Structure 1
Amino acid sequence: MEEVIDISKLLNLLKRNWKFIVSLSLLGALIAAAVSFFLIKPTYSASTQILVNNKESNNQLELQANQADLQLINTYNEIIKSPVILDKVASNLDYKGNLSSKISVSNATQSKVITINAKASNYKDAAKIVNETAKVFSKEIGKLMKTDNVTTLTEADYNKKASPVSPKPLLNTLLGLLIGIILGIALTILKSILDKRIQTEEEVREILGLPVIGMIPHFDEKTLK
Protein backbone atom coordinates (compact mmCIF):
# COMPACT_ATOMS: atom_id res chain seq x y z
CA MET A 1 0.00 0.00 0.00
CA GLU A 2 2.86 2.34 0.88
CA GLU A 3 4.42 1.72 -2.53
CA VAL A 4 1.17 2.72 -4.25
CA ILE A 5 0.98 5.88 -2.16
CA ASP A 6 4.60 6.75 -2.98
CA ILE A 7 3.98 6.32 -6.71
CA SER A 8 0.86 8.45 -6.41
CA LYS A 9 2.87 11.18 -4.67
CA LEU A 10 5.53 11.01 -7.35
CA LEU A 11 2.96 11.35 -10.12
CA ASN A 12 1.34 14.30 -8.36
CA LEU A 13 4.75 15.91 -7.92
CA LEU A 14 5.54 15.53 -11.63
CA LYS A 15 2.09 16.80 -12.54
CA ARG A 16 2.58 19.96 -10.49
CA ASN A 17 5.96 20.59 -12.12
CA TRP A 18 5.15 19.52 -15.70
CA LYS A 19 5.84 22.98 -17.10
CA PHE A 20 9.38 22.95 -15.69
CA ILE A 21 10.05 19.44 -17.03
CA VAL A 22 8.69 20.25 -20.49
CA SER A 23 10.66 23.50 -20.64
CA LEU A 24 13.90 21.75 -19.70
CA SER A 25 13.32 18.97 -22.24
CA LEU A 26 12.65 21.48 -25.02
CA LEU A 27 15.77 23.41 -24.01
CA GLY A 28 17.81 20.20 -24.22
CA ALA A 29 16.43 19.43 -27.68
CA LEU A 30 17.11 22.99 -28.85
CA ILE A 31 20.71 22.94 -27.61
CA ALA A 32 21.36 19.53 -29.22
CA ALA A 33 19.90 20.69 -32.54
CA ALA A 34 21.90 23.92 -32.50
CA VAL A 35 25.15 22.06 -31.78
CA SER A 36 24.43 19.52 -34.54
CA PHE A 37 23.61 22.12 -37.19
CA PHE A 38 26.03 24.93 -36.36
CA LEU A 39 28.97 23.64 -34.28
CA ILE A 40 29.74 20.11 -35.50
CA LYS A 41 31.23 19.89 -38.97
CA PRO A 42 29.64 17.20 -41.16
CA THR A 43 31.68 14.07 -41.84
CA TYR A 44 31.26 11.87 -44.92
CA SER A 45 32.26 8.24 -45.33
CA ALA A 46 33.28 6.23 -48.40
CA SER A 47 34.42 2.63 -48.75
CA THR A 48 35.90 0.19 -51.24
CA GLN A 49 36.35 -3.58 -51.10
CA ILE A 50 39.32 -5.63 -52.24
CA LEU A 51 39.96 -9.38 -52.45
CA VAL A 52 43.41 -10.83 -51.79
CA ASN A 53 44.26 -14.21 -53.40
CA ASN A 54 47.25 -16.29 -54.27
CA LYS A 55 47.61 -17.54 -57.84
CA GLU A 56 47.59 -21.34 -57.60
CA SER A 57 46.17 -23.84 -60.09
CA ASN A 58 46.39 -27.11 -58.15
CA ASN A 59 43.24 -27.70 -56.06
CA GLN A 60 45.10 -28.82 -52.98
CA LEU A 61 47.58 -25.98 -53.25
CA GLU A 62 44.68 -23.57 -53.79
CA LEU A 63 42.99 -24.81 -50.61
CA GLN A 64 46.20 -24.35 -48.65
CA ALA A 65 46.67 -20.90 -50.16
CA ASN A 66 43.14 -19.92 -49.16
CA GLN A 67 43.81 -20.95 -45.57
CA ALA A 68 47.10 -19.05 -45.61
CA ASP A 69 45.37 -15.94 -46.98
CA LEU A 70 42.75 -16.09 -44.22
CA GLN A 71 45.48 -16.28 -41.61
CA LEU A 72 47.22 -13.29 -43.19
CA ILE A 73 44.15 -11.04 -43.33
CA ASN A 74 45.12 -9.19 -40.13
CA THR A 75 48.58 -8.68 -41.59
CA TYR A 76 47.10 -7.20 -44.76
CA ASN A 77 44.93 -4.90 -42.65
CA GLU A 78 47.97 -3.61 -40.79
CA ILE A 79 49.93 -3.16 -44.01
CA ILE A 80 47.13 -1.06 -45.52
CA LYS A 81 47.33 1.34 -42.57
CA SER A 82 51.12 1.37 -42.47
CA PRO A 83 53.25 4.35 -43.60
CA VAL A 84 54.54 2.25 -46.50
CA ILE A 85 51.09 2.49 -48.09
CA LEU A 86 49.59 5.66 -46.63
CA ASP A 87 52.65 7.84 -47.27
CA LYS A 88 52.41 7.04 -50.97
CA VAL A 89 48.66 7.62 -50.94
CA ALA A 90 49.18 11.03 -49.31
CA SER A 91 51.87 11.86 -51.84
CA ASN A 92 49.72 10.85 -54.80
CA LEU A 93 46.75 12.86 -53.54
CA ASP A 94 48.87 15.74 -52.24
CA TYR A 95 47.19 15.20 -48.88
CA LYS A 96 48.67 17.14 -45.97
CA GLY A 97 46.78 15.61 -43.04
CA ASN A 98 47.16 12.39 -41.06
CA LEU A 99 45.62 9.63 -43.18
CA SER A 100 45.91 6.93 -40.54
CA SER A 101 43.28 8.72 -38.45
CA LYS A 102 40.94 8.92 -41.44
CA ILE A 103 41.13 5.29 -42.57
CA SER A 104 39.75 2.12 -41.00
CA VAL A 105 40.15 -1.42 -42.33
CA SER A 106 37.91 -4.40 -41.57
CA ASN A 107 36.81 -7.79 -42.85
CA ALA A 108 34.14 -10.35 -42.01
CA THR A 109 35.11 -13.53 -40.16
CA GLN A 110 36.62 -16.17 -42.47
CA SER A 111 36.46 -13.78 -45.40
CA LYS A 112 39.28 -12.60 -47.64
CA VAL A 113 37.30 -9.51 -48.64
CA ILE A 114 38.83 -6.43 -47.02
CA THR A 115 36.79 -3.25 -46.64
CA ILE A 116 38.68 0.03 -46.61
CA ASN A 117 36.71 2.93 -45.16
CA ALA A 118 37.67 6.60 -45.04
CA LYS A 119 36.06 9.66 -43.50
CA ALA A 120 36.50 13.25 -44.65
CA SER A 121 34.78 16.61 -44.57
CA ASN A 122 33.30 15.92 -48.04
CA TYR A 123 32.41 12.71 -49.84
CA LYS A 124 34.70 13.14 -52.87
CA ASP A 125 37.78 13.40 -50.66
CA ALA A 126 36.76 10.26 -48.77
CA ALA A 127 36.20 8.41 -52.07
CA LYS A 128 39.58 9.52 -53.43
CA ILE A 129 41.34 8.33 -50.29
CA VAL A 130 39.87 4.79 -50.29
CA ASN A 131 40.25 4.27 -54.03
CA GLU A 132 43.85 5.45 -54.04
CA THR A 133 44.62 3.34 -50.98
CA ALA A 134 43.30 0.24 -52.73
CA LYS A 135 45.41 1.02 -55.84
CA VAL A 136 48.62 1.61 -53.89
CA PHE A 137 48.10 -1.52 -51.81
CA SER A 138 47.53 -3.60 -54.96
CA LYS A 139 50.86 -2.38 -56.39
CA GLU A 140 52.96 -2.57 -53.23
CA ILE A 141 51.77 -5.82 -51.63
CA GLY A 142 53.65 -7.90 -54.20
CA LYS A 143 56.91 -6.26 -53.13
CA LEU A 144 56.21 -6.85 -49.45
CA MET A 145 54.78 -10.38 -49.50
CA LYS A 146 54.32 -13.33 -51.86
CA THR A 147 50.87 -12.10 -52.80
CA ASP A 148 50.32 -10.43 -56.12
CA ASN A 149 46.66 -11.06 -56.82
CA VAL A 150 44.57 -8.21 -55.41
CA THR A 151 41.18 -7.59 -56.98
CA THR A 152 39.10 -4.49 -56.39
CA LEU A 153 35.52 -5.65 -55.95
CA THR A 154 33.84 -2.28 -55.47
CA GLU A 155 35.13 1.26 -55.79
CA ALA A 156 33.77 4.37 -54.17
CA ASP A 157 31.71 6.38 -56.64
CA TYR A 158 32.95 9.97 -56.83
CA ASN A 159 29.60 11.22 -58.15
CA LYS A 160 27.48 9.59 -55.48
CA LYS A 161 25.18 12.00 -53.63
CA ALA A 162 26.05 10.91 -50.13
CA SER A 163 24.66 12.09 -46.82
CA PRO A 164 26.97 12.82 -43.91
CA VAL A 165 27.47 10.00 -41.44
CA SER A 166 27.79 12.52 -38.63
CA PRO A 167 26.40 14.46 -37.01
CA LYS A 168 22.86 13.05 -36.99
CA PRO A 169 20.70 16.10 -36.12
CA LEU A 170 17.45 14.18 -35.63
CA LEU A 171 19.02 11.57 -33.36
CA ASN A 172 20.93 14.21 -31.41
CA THR A 173 17.77 16.28 -30.98
CA LEU A 174 15.86 13.28 -29.65
CA LEU A 175 18.72 12.49 -27.27
CA GLY A 176 18.75 16.11 -26.11
CA LEU A 177 14.99 15.91 -25.52
CA LEU A 178 15.37 12.69 -23.54
CA ILE A 179 18.22 14.06 -21.46
CA GLY A 180 16.16 17.19 -20.76
CA ILE A 181 13.21 15.09 -19.57
CA ILE A 182 15.42 12.94 -17.31
CA LEU A 183 17.20 16.01 -15.92
CA GLY A 184 13.88 17.80 -15.35
CA ILE A 185 12.43 14.83 -13.46
CA ALA A 186 15.62 14.39 -11.43
CA LEU A 187 15.76 18.08 -10.45
CA THR A 188 12.06 18.06 -9.55
CA ILE A 189 12.50 15.04 -7.26
CA LEU A 190 15.70 16.48 -5.74
CA LYS A 191 14.00 19.80 -5.07
CA SER A 192 11.10 18.01 -3.41
CA ILE A 193 13.46 16.02 -1.18
CA LEU A 194 15.45 19.09 -0.11
CA ASP A 195 12.39 21.32 0.36
CA LYS A 196 11.03 20.62 3.86
CA ARG A 197 8.14 23.10 3.62
CA ILE A 198 4.56 21.88 3.83
CA GLN A 199 2.78 22.88 0.64
CA THR A 200 -0.45 20.88 0.40
CA GLU A 201 -3.39 19.90 2.63
CA GLU A 202 -2.49 16.25 2.18
CA GLU A 203 0.94 16.85 3.69
CA VAL A 204 -0.63 18.57 6.70
CA ARG A 205 -3.00 15.66 7.33
CA GLU A 206 -0.21 13.11 6.86
CA ILE A 207 2.31 14.79 9.18
CA LEU A 208 -0.06 15.94 11.97
CA GLY A 209 -2.65 13.22 11.67
CA LEU A 210 -5.36 15.87 12.02
CA PRO A 211 -8.07 17.07 9.63
CA VAL A 212 -7.71 20.47 7.98
CA ILE A 213 -10.57 22.68 9.14
CA GLY A 214 -9.58 25.86 7.36
CA MET A 215 -7.04 27.58 5.12
CA ILE A 216 -5.63 31.08 5.05
CA PRO A 217 -5.59 32.28 1.45
CA HIS A 218 -2.54 33.97 0.00
CA PHE A 219 -2.92 37.64 -0.94
CA ASP A 220 -0.41 39.57 -2.97
CA GLU A 221 -0.10 43.36 -3.16
CA LYS A 222 -2.20 43.61 -6.33
CA THR A 223 -5.04 41.69 -4.74
CA LEU A 224 -5.03 43.90 -1.65
CA LYS A 225 -5.18 47.04 -3.80
Structure 2
Amino acid sequence: MQRMDIYEILLMLRKRWKFLFSSILLFFSAATVVVIYVIDPTYEASEAILVGDLERGTEYAQTEQNNMLLASTMDFLRSPMVKTEVSETLAIPYQQLDEQIAIQHNERSQLINIVVHYHHQEEAKNIARSMADSTVSFMEQSLGVNELQVMNNASEVVDARRVDNPVMNIAIAFIVSLFFGVSTTFLRHQYVGVIQHPEELERELQLLLLGEVSVKKGKSKQEFQHYAAKSEVNVRGKTTSETVD
Protein backbone atom coordinates (compact mmCIF):
# COMPACT_ATOMS: atom_id res chain seq x y z
CA MET A 1 0.00 0.00 0.00
CA GLN A 2 1.32 3.41 -0.97
CA ARG A 3 2.08 5.66 1.97
CA MET A 4 0.47 9.09 1.98
CA ASP A 5 1.22 12.16 4.05
CA ILE A 6 -1.44 14.43 5.52
CA TYR A 7 -1.27 16.86 2.57
CA GLU A 8 -1.85 14.09 0.06
CA ILE A 9 -4.74 12.73 2.14
CA LEU A 10 -6.38 16.15 2.22
CA LEU A 11 -5.94 16.49 -1.53
CA MET A 12 -7.44 13.06 -2.03
CA LEU A 13 -10.44 13.92 0.15
CA ARG A 14 -10.91 17.19 -1.71
CA LYS A 15 -10.79 15.45 -5.07
CA ARG A 16 -13.29 12.82 -3.97
CA TRP A 17 -15.49 15.05 -1.84
CA LYS A 18 -18.68 13.87 -3.56
CA PHE A 19 -17.96 10.25 -2.71
CA LEU A 20 -16.93 11.26 0.83
CA PHE A 21 -20.13 13.23 1.39
CA SER A 22 -22.28 10.42 0.00
CA SER A 23 -20.57 7.84 2.23
CA ILE A 24 -20.99 9.92 5.38
CA LEU A 25 -24.63 10.64 4.56
CA LEU A 26 -25.34 6.96 3.90
CA PHE A 27 -23.68 5.73 7.11
CA PHE A 28 -25.26 8.48 9.22
CA SER A 29 -28.75 7.86 7.83
CA ALA A 30 -28.47 4.13 8.53
CA ALA A 31 -27.12 4.72 12.05
CA THR A 32 -29.87 7.26 12.81
CA VAL A 33 -32.56 4.80 11.75
CA VAL A 34 -31.02 2.16 14.01
CA VAL A 35 -30.84 4.54 16.99
CA ILE A 36 -34.42 5.79 16.61
CA TYR A 37 -36.33 2.75 15.42
CA VAL A 38 -34.24 -0.34 16.29
CA ILE A 39 -32.59 0.31 19.66
CA ASP A 40 -35.13 0.14 22.46
CA PRO A 41 -35.21 2.96 25.04
CA THR A 42 -34.18 2.17 28.61
CA TYR A 43 -36.32 3.17 31.60
CA GLU A 44 -35.28 3.03 35.24
CA ALA A 45 -37.73 2.35 38.05
CA SER A 46 -36.94 1.84 41.70
CA GLU A 47 -38.78 0.59 44.76
CA ALA A 48 -37.64 0.53 48.40
CA ILE A 49 -38.31 -1.86 51.28
CA LEU A 50 -38.07 -0.55 54.83
CA VAL A 51 -36.76 -3.13 57.29
CA GLY A 52 -37.78 -2.50 60.90
CA ASP A 53 -38.57 1.03 61.98
CA LEU A 54 -36.65 4.29 61.94
CA GLU A 55 -36.99 5.11 65.64
CA ARG A 56 -33.83 6.43 67.25
CA GLY A 57 -32.29 5.11 70.42
CA THR A 58 -33.07 1.47 69.76
CA GLU A 59 -31.32 -1.11 71.87
CA TYR A 60 -28.42 -3.23 70.72
CA ALA A 61 -30.59 -6.35 70.43
CA GLN A 62 -33.05 -4.51 68.23
CA THR A 63 -30.21 -3.30 66.01
CA GLU A 64 -28.88 -6.83 65.62
CA GLN A 65 -32.34 -8.05 64.73
CA ASN A 66 -32.68 -5.35 62.08
CA ASN A 67 -29.32 -6.34 60.60
CA MET A 68 -30.43 -9.95 60.40
CA LEU A 69 -33.67 -8.90 58.73
CA LEU A 70 -31.75 -6.77 56.25
CA ALA A 71 -29.48 -9.67 55.32
CA SER A 72 -32.39 -12.10 55.04
CA THR A 73 -34.43 -9.69 52.92
CA MET A 74 -31.55 -9.13 50.50
CA ASP A 75 -31.05 -12.90 50.23
CA PHE A 76 -34.72 -13.30 49.34
CA LEU A 77 -34.48 -10.51 46.74
CA ARG A 78 -31.50 -12.19 45.09
CA SER A 79 -32.96 -15.67 45.27
CA PRO A 80 -34.47 -17.40 42.22
CA MET A 81 -37.66 -17.98 44.22
CA VAL A 82 -38.76 -14.36 44.15
CA LYS A 83 -37.60 -13.73 40.58
CA THR A 84 -39.35 -16.85 39.35
CA GLU A 85 -42.65 -15.73 40.82
CA VAL A 86 -42.30 -12.27 39.29
CA SER A 87 -41.29 -13.81 35.97
CA GLU A 88 -44.39 -16.00 35.89
CA THR A 89 -46.71 -13.23 37.10
CA LEU A 90 -45.56 -10.67 34.51
CA ALA A 91 -44.84 -13.23 31.75
CA ILE A 92 -41.23 -12.06 31.36
CA PRO A 93 -38.45 -14.62 30.69
CA TYR A 94 -36.45 -15.31 33.84
CA GLN A 95 -33.05 -14.68 32.26
CA GLN A 96 -34.18 -11.37 30.84
CA LEU A 97 -35.68 -10.35 34.16
CA ASP A 98 -32.57 -11.33 36.13
CA GLU A 99 -30.34 -9.16 33.93
CA GLN A 100 -32.46 -6.04 34.51
CA ILE A 101 -32.63 -6.05 38.32
CA ALA A 102 -30.08 -4.59 40.74
CA ILE A 103 -30.29 -4.67 44.54
CA GLN A 104 -28.74 -1.72 46.37
CA HIS A 105 -28.20 -1.16 50.07
CA ASN A 106 -26.20 1.55 51.81
CA GLU A 107 -24.35 0.74 54.99
CA ARG A 108 -26.16 1.84 58.18
CA SER A 109 -29.42 2.20 56.25
CA GLN A 110 -32.61 0.24 56.82
CA LEU A 111 -33.77 0.75 53.26
CA ILE A 112 -33.19 -1.77 50.47
CA ASN A 113 -33.56 -0.33 46.97
CA ILE A 114 -34.70 -2.41 44.01
CA VAL A 115 -33.54 -0.79 40.75
CA VAL A 116 -34.97 -2.04 37.46
CA HIS A 117 -33.84 -1.16 33.93
CA TYR A 118 -36.27 -2.15 31.20
CA HIS A 119 -37.25 -1.03 27.70
CA HIS A 120 -40.93 -0.49 28.61
CA GLN A 121 -41.85 2.19 31.11
CA GLU A 122 -44.88 0.49 32.64
CA GLU A 123 -43.18 -2.90 32.76
CA ALA A 124 -40.22 -1.39 34.63
CA LYS A 125 -42.60 -0.02 37.26
CA ASN A 126 -44.46 -3.31 37.54
CA ILE A 127 -41.24 -5.31 37.97
CA ALA A 128 -39.99 -3.07 40.77
CA ARG A 129 -43.34 -3.19 42.55
CA SER A 130 -43.75 -6.97 42.11
CA MET A 131 -40.23 -7.67 43.38
CA ALA A 132 -40.94 -5.72 46.56
CA ASP A 133 -44.38 -7.25 47.15
CA SER A 134 -43.20 -10.81 46.53
CA THR A 135 -40.23 -10.42 48.85
CA VAL A 136 -42.36 -9.06 51.70
CA SER A 137 -44.89 -11.84 51.14
CA PHE A 138 -42.22 -14.57 51.23
CA MET A 139 -40.64 -13.09 54.35
CA GLU A 140 -44.00 -13.03 56.14
CA GLN A 141 -44.90 -16.58 55.12
CA SER A 142 -41.49 -18.21 55.63
CA LEU A 143 -40.10 -16.34 58.63
CA GLY A 144 -43.20 -14.84 60.17
CA VAL A 145 -41.72 -11.36 59.77
CA ASN A 146 -44.15 -8.47 59.79
CA GLU A 147 -41.64 -5.66 60.15
CA LEU A 148 -41.16 -5.05 56.41
CA GLN A 149 -42.83 -2.20 54.63
CA VAL A 150 -42.94 -1.33 50.93
CA MET A 151 -42.40 2.42 50.65
CA ASN A 152 -44.70 2.99 47.65
CA ASN A 153 -48.16 1.55 48.19
CA ALA A 154 -49.14 1.37 44.48
CA SER A 155 -47.38 0.75 41.19
CA GLU A 156 -48.65 4.12 39.89
CA VAL A 157 -46.59 5.84 42.56
CA VAL A 158 -43.37 4.22 41.34
CA ASP A 159 -41.50 6.62 39.11
CA ALA A 160 -39.92 5.36 35.87
CA ARG A 161 -37.66 7.71 33.95
CA ARG A 162 -35.78 7.29 30.71
CA VAL A 163 -32.05 6.95 31.33
CA ASP A 164 -30.66 6.54 27.83
CA ASN A 165 -29.86 9.63 25.73
CA PRO A 166 -30.96 9.42 22.07
CA VAL A 167 -29.31 12.76 21.22
CA MET A 168 -25.97 11.48 22.49
CA ASN A 169 -26.46 8.26 20.54
CA ILE A 170 -27.08 10.23 17.33
CA ALA A 171 -23.98 12.36 18.00
CA ILE A 172 -21.90 9.20 18.43
CA ALA A 173 -23.46 7.83 15.22
CA PHE A 174 -22.35 10.97 13.36
CA ILE A 175 -18.76 10.64 14.60
CA VAL A 176 -18.70 6.97 13.60
CA SER A 177 -20.15 7.92 10.20
CA LEU A 178 -17.32 10.41 9.68
CA PHE A 179 -14.78 7.71 10.45
CA PHE A 180 -16.38 5.19 8.10
CA GLY A 181 -16.80 7.80 5.37
CA VAL A 182 -13.14 8.83 5.42
CA SER A 183 -12.01 5.19 5.64
CA THR A 184 -14.20 4.16 2.71
CA THR A 185 -12.94 7.06 0.61
CA PHE A 186 -9.33 6.22 1.43
CA LEU A 187 -9.81 2.54 0.53
CA ARG A 188 -11.54 3.46 -2.71
CA HIS A 189 -8.64 5.73 -3.62
CA GLN A 190 -6.07 3.04 -2.83
CA TYR A 191 -7.69 -0.01 -4.41
CA VAL A 192 -10.33 1.24 -6.83
CA GLY A 193 -8.62 4.38 -8.02
CA VAL A 194 -9.53 4.68 -11.72
CA ILE A 195 -8.18 7.60 -13.75
CA GLN A 196 -11.16 9.29 -15.37
CA HIS A 197 -9.56 12.36 -16.96
CA PRO A 198 -6.30 12.89 -18.89
CA GLU A 199 -5.30 15.62 -16.45
CA GLU A 200 -5.27 13.07 -13.61
CA LEU A 201 -2.86 10.87 -15.58
CA GLU A 202 -0.51 13.82 -16.15
CA ARG A 203 -0.51 14.62 -12.43
CA GLU A 204 0.09 10.99 -11.46
CA LEU A 205 2.94 10.42 -13.93
CA GLN A 206 4.21 14.01 -13.97
CA LEU A 207 4.53 13.75 -17.75
CA LEU A 208 3.02 15.68 -20.63
CA LEU A 209 0.20 13.82 -22.36
CA LEU A 210 0.62 14.12 -26.15
CA GLY A 211 -2.70 12.73 -27.29
CA GLU A 212 -5.82 10.78 -26.50
CA VAL A 213 -7.85 8.17 -28.37
CA SER A 214 -11.62 7.80 -28.18
CA VAL A 215 -12.94 4.26 -28.67
CA LYS A 216 -16.61 3.37 -28.85
CA LYS A 217 -17.91 0.76 -26.46
CA GLY A 218 -18.24 -2.65 -28.03
CA LYS A 219 -15.25 -2.30 -30.35
CA SER A 220 -12.87 -5.21 -30.16
CA LYS A 221 -9.12 -4.89 -29.87
CA GLN A 222 -8.62 -6.01 -33.46
CA GLU A 223 -11.07 -3.40 -34.75
CA PHE A 224 -9.28 -0.71 -32.77
CA GLN A 225 -5.92 -1.71 -34.16
CA HIS A 226 -7.42 -1.71 -37.67
CA TYR A 227 -8.73 1.82 -37.32
CA ALA A 228 -5.57 3.04 -35.59
CA ALA A 229 -3.41 1.81 -38.46
CA LYS A 230 -5.39 3.90 -40.93
CA SER A 231 -5.89 6.99 -38.88
CA GLU A 232 -3.83 9.64 -37.24
CA VAL A 233 -4.06 10.00 -33.51
CA ASN A 234 -5.47 13.25 -32.16
CA VAL A 235 -2.63 15.38 -30.88
CA ARG A 236 -3.25 18.40 -28.69
CA GLY A 237 -2.72 21.63 -30.55
CA LYS A 238 -2.87 20.02 -34.04
CA THR A 239 -5.65 19.30 -36.54
CA THR A 240 -5.93 15.67 -37.62
CA SER A 241 -7.23 14.37 -40.88
CA GLU A 242 -9.41 11.68 -39.26
CA THR A 243 -10.71 10.97 -35.77
CA VAL A 244 -10.81 7.45 -34.52
CA ASP A 245 -14.31 6.46 -33.43
Compute the displacement of 1:186 (Å): 1.2
Alpha-carbon distance in 1 for matches of 2:172, 2:155: 33
Alpha-carbon distance in 2 for matches of 1:77, 1:216: 86
- Output the TM-score relative to the length of structure 1: 0.64
* Mapped pair 1:20 → 2:19: yes
Query: When the two structures are aligned, how many residues end up with a matched partner?
Result: 207
Tell me if structure 1 keeps the 8 A contact 2:124–2:160. no
5+ residue gaps, structure 1, are: 206-211
* Mapped pair 1:179 → 2:179: no
C-alpha change, 1:187 and 1:133, in structure 2 (3 Å) is: same
Provide the secondary structure at the position in 2 that maps to 1:33.
helix
Alpha-carbon distance in 2 for matches of 1:78, 1:100: 18
The two structures, once aligned, show a CA RMSD in angstroms of 4.3
2:130 is aligned to 132
2:238 is aligned to none
Q: Percent identity?
A: 20
Question: Any idea what the Cα deviations from partners look like across 1:137-171, whole Å, max 9, x if unmatched?
Answer: 123235556975434345786278966556x5434
Structure of greater relative contact order (alpha carbons < 8 Å, 6+ residues apart):
1
* Higher-Rg member (1/2): 2
- Output the TM-score relative to the length of structure 2: 0.60
Compute the displacement of 1:117 (Å): 2.8
Alpha-carbon distance in 2 for matches of 1:159, 1:67: 28
Compute the displacement of 1:8 (Å): 1.0
1:192 is aligned to 189
Question: Any idea what the Cα deviations from partners look like across 1:156-200, whole Å, max 9, x if unmatched?
Answer: 86278966556x543443333222221121122223333577746
C-alpha change, 1:190 and 1:220, in structure 2 (3 Å) is: same
Alpha-carbon distance in 2 for matches of 1:37, 1:139: 40
Question: Any idea what the Cα deviations from partners look like across 1:67-93, whole Å, max 9, x if unmatched?
Answer: 6677x3xx74452143322344456xx
C-alpha change, 1:163 and 1:115, in structure 2 (3 Å) is: closer
Alpha-carbon distance in 2 for matches of 1:160, 1:106: 16
Question: Any idea what the Cα deviations from partners look like across 1:100-159, whole Å, max 9, x if unmatched?
Answer: 523412325636443223345542232122112212212323555697543434578627
Matches within 5 A, 1:70-219: 72=71, 76-90=73-87, 94-99=89-94, 101-102=96-97, 103-107=100-104, 110=107, 112=109, 113-120=111-118, 122-142=120-140, 149-153=147-151, 158=156, 164-165=162-163, 169-194=166-191, 199=200, 203-205=204-206
1:29 is aligned to 28
